Structure 1
Amino acid sequence: MGDFIAYLDTSDVRPGKLEELKAAMAELAAFVEQNEPQIISYCVCFSEDGSVMSVLHFHRDVASLELHMKVAGPKFVPVAPLIKLRTIEVFGRPTEDLVVQLRAKAQLLGSGTVIVRDVHAGFARFTRG
Protein backbone atom coordinates (compact mmCIF):
# COMPACT_ATOMS: atom_id res chain seq x y z
CA MET A 1 0.00 0.00 0.00
CA GLY A 2 3.03 2.26 0.05
CA ASP A 3 2.64 5.43 2.07
CA PHE A 4 -1.18 5.49 1.92
CA ILE A 5 -2.68 6.99 5.11
CA ALA A 6 -6.23 6.85 6.41
CA TYR A 7 -7.24 9.15 9.26
CA LEU A 8 -10.32 8.94 11.49
CA ASP A 9 -11.10 11.11 14.46
CA THR A 10 -14.14 10.75 16.69
CA SER A 11 -15.51 13.44 18.99
CA ASP A 12 -18.43 14.01 21.31
CA VAL A 13 -20.49 17.04 20.30
CA ARG A 14 -20.94 19.41 23.22
CA PRO A 15 -24.57 19.92 24.26
CA GLY A 16 -26.31 22.67 22.31
CA LYS A 17 -23.40 23.05 19.85
CA LEU A 18 -24.51 20.78 16.98
CA GLU A 19 -25.71 23.44 14.54
CA GLU A 20 -22.71 25.69 15.21
CA LEU A 21 -20.41 22.69 14.75
CA LYS A 22 -22.09 21.66 11.50
CA ALA A 23 -21.55 25.17 10.12
CA ALA A 24 -17.92 25.25 11.27
CA MET A 25 -17.18 21.84 9.79
CA ALA A 26 -18.83 22.69 6.46
CA GLU A 27 -16.56 25.75 6.35
CA LEU A 28 -13.51 23.65 7.24
CA ALA A 29 -14.34 21.02 4.60
CA ALA A 30 -14.70 23.74 1.95
CA PHE A 31 -11.36 25.24 3.05
CA VAL A 32 -9.63 21.84 2.82
CA GLU A 33 -11.12 21.17 -0.61
CA GLN A 34 -9.94 24.57 -1.87
CA ASN A 35 -6.47 24.57 -0.31
CA GLU A 36 -5.38 20.93 -0.18
CA PRO A 37 -5.79 19.31 -3.60
CA GLN A 38 -3.59 16.36 -2.62
CA ILE A 39 -6.22 14.91 -0.23
CA ILE A 40 -8.12 12.02 -1.82
CA SER A 41 -11.20 12.38 0.39
CA TYR A 42 -12.30 14.45 3.39
CA CYS A 43 -15.64 13.61 5.04
CA VAL A 44 -17.40 14.92 8.15
CA CYS A 45 -20.07 12.58 9.54
CA PHE A 46 -22.51 12.81 12.45
CA SER A 47 -24.29 10.09 14.37
CA GLU A 48 -28.04 9.88 13.87
CA ASP A 49 -28.73 11.71 17.12
CA GLY A 50 -26.02 14.32 16.47
CA SER A 51 -24.06 13.50 19.60
CA VAL A 52 -20.94 12.15 17.86
CA MET A 53 -18.90 13.52 14.97
CA SER A 54 -16.34 11.59 12.96
CA VAL A 55 -13.94 13.07 10.44
CA LEU A 56 -12.48 10.64 7.91
CA HIS A 57 -9.84 11.45 5.33
CA PHE A 58 -7.61 9.54 2.96
CA HIS A 59 -4.14 10.55 1.80
CA ARG A 60 -1.91 9.11 -0.91
CA ASP A 61 1.11 9.57 1.34
CA VAL A 62 2.31 10.83 4.70
CA ALA A 63 3.33 14.18 3.21
CA SER A 64 -0.33 14.88 2.41
CA LEU A 65 -1.41 14.41 6.05
CA GLU A 66 1.56 16.48 7.22
CA LEU A 67 0.52 19.28 4.86
CA HIS A 68 -3.07 19.02 6.09
CA MET A 69 -1.92 19.55 9.67
CA LYS A 70 0.09 22.60 8.60
CA VAL A 71 -2.54 24.20 6.34
CA ALA A 72 -5.73 23.35 8.25
CA GLY A 73 -4.22 23.26 11.74
CA PRO A 74 -5.06 26.88 12.57
CA LYS A 75 -8.69 26.15 11.63
CA PHE A 76 -8.99 23.54 14.44
CA VAL A 77 -8.84 26.14 17.23
CA PRO A 78 -12.38 27.57 16.73
CA VAL A 79 -13.81 24.03 16.79
CA ALA A 80 -12.35 23.26 20.24
CA PRO A 81 -15.26 24.70 22.30
CA LEU A 82 -17.77 22.70 20.25
CA ILE A 83 -16.42 19.17 20.74
CA LYS A 84 -14.54 16.84 23.03
CA LEU A 85 -12.22 14.71 20.93
CA ARG A 86 -12.16 11.02 21.91
CA THR A 87 -9.68 9.48 19.49
CA ILE A 88 -7.54 10.07 16.46
CA GLU A 89 -6.81 6.85 14.59
CA VAL A 90 -4.21 6.74 11.85
CA PHE A 91 -3.97 3.73 9.57
CA GLY A 92 -0.52 3.59 7.97
CA ARG A 93 2.95 4.77 8.97
CA PRO A 94 3.10 8.39 10.12
CA THR A 95 6.40 10.01 11.00
CA GLU A 96 7.24 10.60 14.65
CA ASP A 97 6.88 14.34 14.08
CA LEU A 98 3.39 13.82 12.68
CA VAL A 99 2.40 11.72 15.70
CA VAL A 100 3.57 14.55 17.96
CA GLN A 101 1.42 17.00 15.97
CA LEU A 102 -1.59 14.68 16.21
CA ARG A 103 -1.14 14.36 19.97
CA ALA A 104 -1.08 18.16 20.25
CA LYS A 105 -4.30 18.31 18.22
CA ALA A 106 -5.87 15.70 20.52
CA GLN A 107 -4.98 17.82 23.56
CA LEU A 108 -6.32 20.98 21.95
CA LEU A 109 -9.64 19.38 21.09
CA GLY A 110 -10.31 17.41 24.24
CA SER A 111 -7.38 15.30 25.45
CA GLY A 112 -8.26 12.30 23.29
CA THR A 113 -5.85 9.52 22.46
CA VAL A 114 -3.88 8.95 19.27
CA ILE A 115 -3.85 5.39 17.97
CA VAL A 116 -1.53 4.34 15.14
CA ARG A 117 -2.34 1.15 13.27
CA ASP A 118 0.31 -0.07 10.86
CA VAL A 119 -1.19 -1.74 7.80
CA HIS A 120 -0.28 -5.42 7.71
CA ALA A 121 -1.84 -6.45 4.40
CA GLY A 122 -4.19 -5.04 1.79
CA PHE A 123 -4.30 -2.59 -1.06
CA ALA A 124 -5.68 0.79 -2.04
CA ARG A 125 -7.17 1.63 -5.43
CA PHE A 126 -7.38 5.21 -6.53
CA THR A 127 -6.38 7.21 -9.55
CA ARG A 128 -3.75 9.88 -9.51
CA GLY A 129 -5.17 13.25 -10.28
Structure 2
Amino acid sequence: MDDFIAYLDTSEVRPGKLEALKAAMAELSAFVELNEPQIIAYRVYFSGDGSTMSVLNLHTDQASLEFHMKVAGPKFPPIAPLITLRTIEVFGRVSEELVARLQAKAKLLGGGAVIVHDVHAGFARLPRI
Protein backbone atom coordinates (compact mmCIF):
# COMPACT_ATOMS: atom_id res chain seq x y z
CA MET A 1 0.00 0.00 0.00
CA ASP A 2 2.50 2.58 -1.20
CA ASP A 3 -0.17 5.25 -1.43
CA PHE A 4 -0.95 5.26 2.33
CA ILE A 5 -0.60 8.76 3.85
CA ALA A 6 -0.20 9.82 7.46
CA TYR A 7 -0.78 13.48 8.27
CA LEU A 8 0.24 15.19 11.50
CA ASP A 9 -0.18 18.83 12.35
CA THR A 10 1.10 20.40 15.54
CA SER A 11 -0.06 23.73 16.94
CA GLU A 12 0.47 25.91 19.95
CA VAL A 13 -2.74 26.60 21.84
CA ARG A 14 -3.23 30.32 22.35
CA PRO A 15 -3.41 31.43 25.98
CA GLY A 16 -6.91 31.16 27.43
CA LYS A 17 -8.25 29.28 24.38
CA LEU A 18 -7.89 25.64 25.46
CA GLU A 19 -11.53 24.97 26.36
CA ALA A 20 -12.85 26.70 23.24
CA LEU A 21 -10.36 24.73 21.14
CA LYS A 22 -11.34 21.42 22.73
CA ALA A 23 -14.99 22.13 21.94
CA ALA A 24 -14.18 23.17 18.36
CA MET A 25 -12.05 20.09 17.76
CA ALA A 26 -14.68 17.76 19.19
CA GLU A 27 -17.17 19.31 16.76
CA LEU A 28 -14.72 19.03 13.85
CA SER A 29 -13.96 15.38 14.71
CA ALA A 30 -17.65 14.53 14.74
CA PHE A 31 -18.10 16.31 11.39
CA VAL A 32 -15.19 14.41 9.83
CA GLU A 33 -16.49 11.08 11.13
CA LEU A 34 -19.94 11.76 9.67
CA ASN A 35 -18.85 13.20 6.32
CA GLU A 36 -15.63 11.40 5.43
CA PRO A 37 -16.23 7.64 5.46
CA GLN A 38 -12.98 6.91 3.61
CA ILE A 39 -10.66 8.34 6.30
CA ILE A 40 -9.03 5.58 8.39
CA ALA A 41 -8.45 7.67 11.52
CA TYR A 42 -8.79 11.25 12.70
CA ARG A 43 -7.41 11.89 16.19
CA VAL A 44 -6.86 15.06 18.23
CA TYR A 45 -4.28 15.04 21.03
CA PHE A 46 -3.34 17.67 23.64
CA SER A 47 -0.13 17.85 25.65
CA GLY A 48 -0.43 17.32 29.39
CA ASP A 49 -0.23 21.04 30.10
CA GLY A 50 -2.67 21.92 27.29
CA SER A 51 -0.17 24.11 25.48
CA THR A 52 0.11 21.97 22.34
CA MET A 53 -2.38 20.22 20.10
CA SER A 54 -1.56 17.55 17.52
CA VAL A 55 -3.99 16.26 14.92
CA LEU A 56 -3.26 12.90 13.31
CA ASN A 57 -5.05 11.71 10.16
CA LEU A 58 -4.53 8.37 8.45
CA HIS A 59 -5.54 8.09 4.81
CA THR A 60 -5.54 5.17 2.37
CA ASP A 61 -4.31 7.47 -0.40
CA GLN A 62 -3.87 11.04 -1.57
CA ALA A 63 -7.48 11.25 -2.77
CA SER A 64 -8.64 10.74 0.82
CA LEU A 65 -6.49 13.64 2.07
CA GLU A 66 -7.65 15.82 -0.83
CA PHE A 67 -11.27 15.03 0.02
CA HIS A 68 -10.62 15.90 3.67
CA MET A 69 -9.19 19.28 2.69
CA LYS A 70 -12.23 19.96 0.49
CA VAL A 71 -14.91 18.83 2.95
CA ALA A 72 -13.39 19.93 6.26
CA GLY A 73 -11.51 22.94 4.88
CA PRO A 74 -14.39 25.39 5.47
CA LYS A 75 -14.29 24.38 9.16
CA PHE A 76 -10.66 25.51 9.60
CA PRO A 77 -11.02 29.35 9.67
CA PRO A 78 -12.95 29.49 12.98
CA ILE A 79 -10.10 27.54 14.60
CA ALA A 80 -7.46 30.07 13.50
CA PRO A 81 -7.92 32.44 16.48
CA LEU A 82 -7.43 29.54 18.89
CA ILE A 83 -4.04 28.23 17.69
CA THR A 84 -0.74 29.03 16.08
CA LEU A 85 0.18 26.22 13.70
CA ARG A 86 3.80 25.06 13.98
CA THR A 87 4.00 22.28 11.41
CA ILE A 88 2.06 20.13 9.02
CA GLU A 89 3.92 16.90 8.36
CA VAL A 90 2.83 14.54 5.63
CA PHE A 91 4.24 11.03 5.49
CA GLY A 92 3.82 9.64 1.96
CA ARG A 93 3.78 10.79 -1.65
CA VAL A 94 1.58 13.79 -2.43
CA SER A 95 1.25 16.11 -5.42
CA GLU A 96 2.64 19.63 -5.58
CA GLU A 97 -0.97 20.87 -5.85
CA LEU A 98 -1.87 19.22 -2.55
CA VAL A 99 1.28 20.62 -0.91
CA ALA A 100 0.19 24.10 -2.07
CA ARG A 101 -3.25 23.57 -0.48
CA LEU A 102 -1.58 22.47 2.76
CA GLN A 103 0.66 25.55 2.66
CA ALA A 104 -2.45 27.73 2.33
CA LYS A 105 -3.93 25.98 5.36
CA ALA A 106 -0.69 26.55 7.28
CA LYS A 107 -0.75 30.24 6.40
CA LEU A 108 -4.38 30.54 7.54
CA LEU A 109 -3.63 28.87 10.88
CA GLY A 110 -0.46 30.73 11.81
CA GLY A 111 2.17 30.24 9.16
CA GLY A 112 3.79 26.95 10.16
CA ALA A 113 5.98 24.86 7.88
CA VAL A 114 4.72 22.07 5.62
CA ILE A 115 7.12 19.12 5.61
CA VAL A 116 6.68 16.15 3.29
CA HIS A 117 8.42 12.88 4.13
CA ASP A 118 8.53 10.60 1.08
CA VAL A 119 8.23 6.90 1.76
CA HIS A 120 11.45 4.92 1.46
CA ALA A 121 10.64 1.46 2.80
CA GLY A 122 8.11 -0.38 4.90
CA PHE A 123 4.53 -1.48 4.63
CA ALA A 124 1.04 -0.74 5.92
CA ARG A 125 -1.53 -3.40 6.77
CA LEU A 126 -4.70 -1.50 6.14
CA PRO A 127 -8.01 -2.80 4.90
CA ARG A 128 -9.22 -1.52 1.55
CA ILE A 129 -12.21 0.71 2.10
TM-score (norm 1): 0.98
Aligned to 1:102: 102
Which ranges of structure 2 fall in alignment gaps of 5 or more residues? none
- Residues 16-67 of structure 1: CA distance to partner in whole angstroms, max 9, x if unpaired? 0000000000000000000000000000000000000000010000000000
One-letter amino acid of the structure 1 residue matched with residue 86 of structure 2? R
Instruction: Map residues 37-76 of structure 1 onto 2, 5 A cutoff.
Output: 37-76=37-76
Aligned to 2:89: 89
Deviation of 1:8 after TM superposition, in Å, equals 0.1
Distance 2:100 2:128 in 1: 29
Deviation of 1:2 after TM superposition, in Å, equals 1.7
- Residues 65-90 of structure 1: CA distance to partner in whole angstroms, max 9, x if unpaired? 00000000000000000000000000
SS of the aligned residue for 2:110 comes to coil
One-letter amino acid of the structure 2 residue matched with residue 128 of structure 1? R
Deviation of 1:96 after TM superposition, in Å, equals 0.9
SS of the aligned residue for 1:16 comes to coil
Aligned to 1:77: 77
TM-score (norm 2): 0.98
SS of the aligned residue for 1:39 comes to coil
Distance 2:2 2:71 in 1: 23
Distance 2:128 2:66 in 1: 19
Identity %: 76
CA-based RMSD: 0.6
- Structure 1's consecutive aligned runs of 4 or more residues displaced over 3 angstroms after TM superposition are none
